[in-house]
């Protein structure tokens, strides 16, 4: 009788666990992807009994190899397996985190095994070929959600007109962590300006100091989270709100100091502005703006510049009203960089186009289609960061 009671209790527990979705439930898993190559049939390698090769999606092996469709890739000790597609590509997910052995087999070739390190919630590329860029990354990260209302008064905005926000400082703080620790790009410098630090004067000086330190092939990324306004949304000019006053798209572009690039014999070919503000697409919409006698034709709509904006020039951007507050666009941007999901082609680089595709889609869904990410120019290969840092 007593044993029966225990057995009944055991059955009840099994049912409870199964219903809660916990049974066999979340464990730390990740994925891996790569390309399988085989010696080409007419090559000397084939005649010499050459082996299968497993590579990442970027680096091709030397001549004499071709991509192999129909090869079976198996994770040893599990039931996880897949077959390469017509391009020789494979991708396996749900693999337990840690070092795992992959075995690749095909009826015409001897099986080969390689070891890979699986990372949580991440699809890693086959290691062995690290894409090293020559350039260094220079970052200016600005988040303003608290303001000097005395200074702003002269621009017609009082305490009740300029809404305080917590999200910008959190955005910058989390983004800095990712760029510092999950970014394989050699860091030139990262400057962070939050709330009261982000004055008109300080932003300008910081930008100038970064540009002065740059050399050929370096990357400059300017990120801003906070309030924005645009002519398309009935404001007098396209601008972002710094701690003490607005700065227009024209002014900010001029602060990049193209003359310093010229002095140092540098090409402006990898300057990226990432904005998470309302109406941020206005910084590259080609609409003429002016303010304080500064007149512009195109602001950031120029060759060499890329703008990745959280919304169009006529749309608001949003943040999660949770603790800690984070802006929706930046939240997905951080997630894309941290997990590698924004590296869509698996080449280890996060380009502006890839981030547009990934972050744009997620942001659109999260905001019920109200926030459309903006990219200038379409297809931009500007590098924001590289991934992963372990290889």
Partner 1 sequence: MSKAKLAVIVIFVIAVLTAPSAQGKVPLTRDPAFHAIAWEHQGRIKLAIANTSPERQEFSVGFGYYLLGQRILEETAIQVPGQTILVTTHPMVWSDAETGYRTADMVFLRTRDGESAASAQIIGLHPATEHYRVDRFIVSAGQDAVMYIETPDPELGVDTTVYLSIGRNFNLGNYKGRVMVDKVYEGGLKRASDPPFGKGERPQDFHNYSYSWRGLRITAPTPKRFEGVQQLEFVIEEFVSTPEGTARHGLSAPPILVYGSDIILMEQ
Binding residues for partner 1 (CB under 8 A)? 3, 6-7, 9-10, 13-14, 16-17, 20-27, 156-157, 161-163, 227, 229, 232-235, 241, 278, 281, 284-286, 298, 301-303, 312, 314-316, 320-322, 324, 326, 331, 335, 356, 360-361, 364-366, 368-370, 372-379
Residue of 241, 247, 158, 151 whose CA lies nearest to 195: 241
Burial class (CB in 10 A: 0-12, 13-18, 19+), 330: buried
Q: Residue 248: how many CB atoms within 10 A of its CB?
A: 24
Rounded to 10°, the helix 352-366/328-339 angle is: 130
Residue with smaller CB distance to partner 1, 7 or 205: 7
Decide if 355 contacts 363 (C-beta within 8 A): no
Give me the least distance between CB of 96 and partner 1, in Å please. Answer: 13
Integer Cα distance of 229 and 14 in angstroms: 56
Tell me the closest approach of the beta carbon of residue 262 to partner 1, in angstroms. Answer: 21
Q: Which of 56, 42, 41 has its CA nearest to residue 106? A: 41
In the bound state with partner 1, the residue whose beta carbon lies nearer, of 218 and 331, is: 331
Q: Least distance from C-beta 60 to partner 1, angstroms?
A: 29
Choose among 233, 384, 383: nearest CA to 311: 233
Nearer residue to partner 1 within complex by CB, 55 or 301 = 301
Asked if 52 and 113 touch (Cβ cutoff 8 Å), the reply is no
Our CB check for partner 1 shows the closer of 206 and 282 to be 282
Give the nearest distance from C-beta 227 to partner 1 in angstroms: 5
Closest to partner 1 by CB, 56 or 338: 338
Q: How far is the CB of 305 from partner 1 (least distance, A)?
A: 10
């Amino acid at each position: 009788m007593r044993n029966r009671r225990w057995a009944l209790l055991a059955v009840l527990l099994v049912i409870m666990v199964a219903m809660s979705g916990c049974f066999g439930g979340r464990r730390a898993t990740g994925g891996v992807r790569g390309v399988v190559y085989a010696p080409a049939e007419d090559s000397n390698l084939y005649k010499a009994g050459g082996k299968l090769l497993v590579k990442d999606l970027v680096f091709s092996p030397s001549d004499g190899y071709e991509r192999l469709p129909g090869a079976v890739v198996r994770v040893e000790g599990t039931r996880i397996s897949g077959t390469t597609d017509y391009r020789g590509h494979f991708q396996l997910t749900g693999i337990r985190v840690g070092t795992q052995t992959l075995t690749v087999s095909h009826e015409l070739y001897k099986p080969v095994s390689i070891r890979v390190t699986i990372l949580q919630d991440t699809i890693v590329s086959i290691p062995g070929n690290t894409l090293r860029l020559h350039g260094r990354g220079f970052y200016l990260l600005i988040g303003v959600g608290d303001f000097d209302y005395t200074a702003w008064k002269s621009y017609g905005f009082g305490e009740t007109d300029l809404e305080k926000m917590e999200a910008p400082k959190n955005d910058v703080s989390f983004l800095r962590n990712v760029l510092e620790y999950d970014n394989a790009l050699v860091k030139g410098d990262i400057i962070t300006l939050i709330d009261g630090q982000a004055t008109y004067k300080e932003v300008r000086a910081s930008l100038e100091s970064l540009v002065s330190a740059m050399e050929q092939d370096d990357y400059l990324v300017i990120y801003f989270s906070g309030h924005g306004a645009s002519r398309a949304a009935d404001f007098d000019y396209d601008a972002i709100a710094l701690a003490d006053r607005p700065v227009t798209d024209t002014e900010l572009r001029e602060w990049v100091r193209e003359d310093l690039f010229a002095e140092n014999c540098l090409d402006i070919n990898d300057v990226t502005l990432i904005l998470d503000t309302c109406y941020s697409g206005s910084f590259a919409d080609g609409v003429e703006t002016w303010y304080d006698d500064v007149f512009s034709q195109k602001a950031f709509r120029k060759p060499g510049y890329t703008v990745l904006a959280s919304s169009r020039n006529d749309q608001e951007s949003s943040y999660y009203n949770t603790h800690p507050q984070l802006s929706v666009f930046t939240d997905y941007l951080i997630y894309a960089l941290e997990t590698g999901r924004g590296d869509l082609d698996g080449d280890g680089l996060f380009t502006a186009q890839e981030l547009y595709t990934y972050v744009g889609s997620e942001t659109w869904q999260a905001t019920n289609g109200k926030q459309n990410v903006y990219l200038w120019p379409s297809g931009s290969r500007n590098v924001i960061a590289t991934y992963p840092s372990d290889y």
